[in-house]
Amino acid sequence: MSETTESYGPVIGIDLGTSNSLVAAVVDGEPVLIRDADGRVVVPSVLAVLPGEEHPIVGTRARNLHVIDPGRTISSVKRLIGRRADDTAVARIAEEVGFEVIAADDDWPQIAIGDATFEVVEVLAIILGRLRTIAEEFLGERINRAVITVPASFNQAQRRATRMAGTLAGLDVMRLLNEPTAAALAYGVTTDSHETVAVYDLGGGTFDLTLLELRAQVFEVRATDGDSFLGGDDIDRLVARELADRIQTRFGVEVPPIGMQRLKTVAERMKMDLSEVTETEGQVPAHWLGIIDRDEIFTVELERDTLEEMCHELIDRTFECCTRALAAASLRPESVDSVVLVGGSTRMPLIRERVAHFFGREPEQAINPETVVCIGAALHADTLDSVRRPRFEGARPSTLIDVCQHTLSIGTVGGFVEPVVPANTPLPVRRTRHFSTTRDNQDTVRLKIFEGGSKLAAQNHELGELILNDIRPMQRGAVTIATTFEVTTDGVLQITAVDVGTGQAQSSRLVVNNNS
């Protein structure tokens, strides 16, 4: 019996965000944002573990519980994905969140909530599973295939972990799609114009700048650059600290760590308000700060000018990425024809002003920065589907050419590296390097694999050690091994090794570096 459209079921696009997530699908030829049973499109990327509940809860209810009991909720977990327990970023996150981050026996971080522990990948899988359920209830069909978006700056470990989370959620991950590229797909899918587009993507936890060339439904990424630890979360944290200082100065109350978690929720709302007004205020009940003997509410004010002054350094960092991406693409800011803003933080007037000044043009106004990535993911999922094709008016299947985000290299003598796949190489790509044995009867070759743009191994991220076993015992130099780096359209590295003399594949494995 041949497989039918129904046997495949719908395909969905998922924007798995640090703060919020969305899911969409092409329905009757139109891209549609999927709503939950309460009519909400946005699903907070927050998980809560409550006594008496058999399973964790995800979404709006979990976010609301974060204010009541931060210690039983998990938020911003995407910042931990693909990071080892001894990563300095993990230490920073652990100091700033309400949940406990501990090191597991395999040196990966775990999250402890009461008596329960969760792997980071497991938490993301639970969130993805909730999005899948929402889509199934909305569409009335079983779903097992999806395109999931990731920050363009994600490294190999982060991409592999995201794909693993999708698999744990019962999804066949058709592709990991870079978030700025997804936004460009949604922006340009109905146009025949030939233009260069810059996608400025400031999300909850990451920043990316991607430059694309659009021509006749071909979307070719020219260059990308970003920071995987820079986003709206950092702005919220700055605001929360400012509010804590004002509370201490005015009311003589020192805000404890659990109070800082609650203040962050107030800070996020005030930040959003200041995109519309020039000053706002927040109300903080005394018991939120652990003060049970004072029945009062602290009112704190914040001005847009103060917020913008606090954020200048963070925003400056985004334009350092912009400058590097333009240089990699051999472009100038004035060479860009259109600028697309992505991520809720780009609603800040200061960011829009800085972007317009940098590129010499106003960013596109008709695009919703918070939903455009998910729409692009759904469109690309539909294009990848072997049965269905985009059929909405004016649209045609598009061709996407993305790039490798980071230079992939092999370690050499003297602490240097030899690049194999340079950053911004179009994907998919295969590159081969040949290595000969260096001593008689050598049966094993070990090669260190790195990710990053420096010529010095110590300044790059060590992915691990490639171990080639069962090499023919011969005189040194008599055996040559062809080692091939293949980077998929997901940006994920796969390595194979072949004995040139026999044509036989060598036993090889990449041992992940525990100190990465």
- pLDDT tens digit sequence for 363-372: 998 899 999 9
Instruction: Find, among 123, 124, 146, the residue nearest to 34 by Cα.
Output: 146
Choice among 296-305, 339-348, 414-423, 507-516 with the minimum mean pLDDT = 507-516
pLDDT at residue 250, as a whole number: 92
Across 50-54, 393-397, 424-428, 462-466, which has the greatest mean pLDDT? 424-428
pLDDT at residue 386, as a whole number: 56
For residue 511 the two structure tokens come to 């041992």
Q: Looking at the domain 5-229+328-401, which fold is it? A: Nucleotidyltransferase; domain 5 (3.30.420)
Give yes or no for residue 74 having a pLDDT over 60.
yes
Give yes or no for residue 59 having a pLDDT over 90.
yes
User: Residues near 28 by Cβ (< 8 Å), separated by ≥ 6?
Assistant: none
Confidence class for position 397, pLDDT limits 50, 70, 90: low
Give yes or no for residue 394 having a pLDDT over 50.
no
pLDDT at residue 465, as a whole number: 87
Confidence class for position 468, pLDDT limits 50, 70, 90: confident
- The single residue of 15, 236, 451, 462 carrying the catalytic annotation is 15
Confidence class for position 115, pLDDT limits 50, 70, 90: confident
Choice among 39-43, 168-172, 249-253, 350-354 with the minimum mean pLDDT = 249-253
DSSP 45-98: S-EE--TT-SS-EESHHHHHHHHH-GGGEE-SGGGGTT--TT-HHHHHHHHHSS
Give yes or no for residue 387 having a pLDDT over 50.
no
Give yes or no for residue 3 having a pLDDT over 80.
no
pLDDT at residue 337, as a whole number: 97
Q: Is 78 a catalytic residue?
A: yes
Whether 363 and 197 have beta carbons less than 8 Å apart is answered as no
Whether 516 and 462 have beta carbons less than 8 Å apart is answered as yes
* CA 438 – CA 12 distance, rounded (Å): 51
Burial of 429 (0-12, 13-18, 19+ CB in 10 A): middle
Give yes or no for residue 7 having a pLDDT over 80.
no
* CA 305 – CA 475 distance, rounded (Å): 72
Q: What is the DSSP letter of 364?
A: P
Which helix (DSSP H) or strand (DSSP E) does residue 250 occupy?
helix 232-251
* CA 158 – CA 451 distance, rounded (Å): 12
Mean pLDDT, residues 232-243 taken together: 96
- Residue written as token pair 């020219």: 222
Mean pLDDT, residues 372-401 taken together: 76
CATH 2.60.34.10 fits 408-512, yes or no: yes
Whether 452 and 225 have beta carbons less than 8 Å apart is answered as no
pLDDT at residue 507, as a whole number: 63
* CA 206 – CA 227 distance, rounded (Å): 6
Rounded to 5°, angle at Cα 381 from 377 and 387: 160
Q: Is 179 a catalytic residue?
A: yes
User: What digits encode the pLDDT tens for the residues 100-114?
Assistant: 999 988 889 999 998
For residue 129 the two structure tokens come to 């599973």
Please name the amino acid found at residue 84: R
Give yes or no for residue 400 having a pLDDT over 80.
yes
- The single residue of 96, 119, 122, 179 carrying the catalytic annotation is 179
Count of beta carbons in the 10 Å neighbourhood of residue 53: 9
Rounded to 5°, angle at Cα 335 from 333 and 341: 60
User: What digits encode the pLDDT tens for the residues 438-462?
Assistant: 899 998 888 899 999 999 999 999 9
* pLDDT mean across residues, the chain: 91
Q: Domain extents for the chain?
A: 5-229+328-401, 232-309, 408-512
pLDDT at residue 508, as a whole number: 61
User: What digits encode the pLDDT tens for the residues 272-322?
Assistant: 999 999 999 999 999 888 887 778 899 999 999 999 999 999 999 999 999
Choice among 392-396, 507-511, 512-516 with the minimum mean pLDDT = 512-516
For residue 22 the two structure tokens come to 């969305």
pLDDT at residue 390, as a whole number: 44
Can you point out the beta strands (E) in 75-206? 100-103, 109-113, 116-119, 145-150, 172-178, 195-202
Percent over 90 (pLDDT), the chain: 74
User: What digits encode the pLDDT tens for the residues 178-202?
Assistant: 999 999 999 997 677 899 999 999 9
* CA 78 – CA 44 distance, rounded (Å): 12
* CA 222 – CA 392 distance, rounded (Å): 28
Instruction: Find, among 281, 385, 307, 264, the residue nearest to 12 by Cα.
Output: 385
- The single residue of 36, 78, 213, 236 carrying the catalytic annotation is 78
pLDDT at residue 186, as a whole number: 94
User: Residues near 177 by Cβ (< 8 Å), separated by ≥ 6?
Assistant: 13, 147, 148, 149, 150, 376, 377, 380
CATH of domain 232-309: 3.90.640.10
- The single residue of 36, 119, 201, 382 carrying the catalytic annotation is 201
Beta-bridge partners for 118: 111
Give yes or no for residue 474 having a pLDDT over 70.
yes
Tell me the CA distances in angstroms from 475 to 224, 438, 439, 478, 502, one per residue in order.
45, 9, 7, 6, 16
Mean pLDDT, residues 402-429 taken together: 94
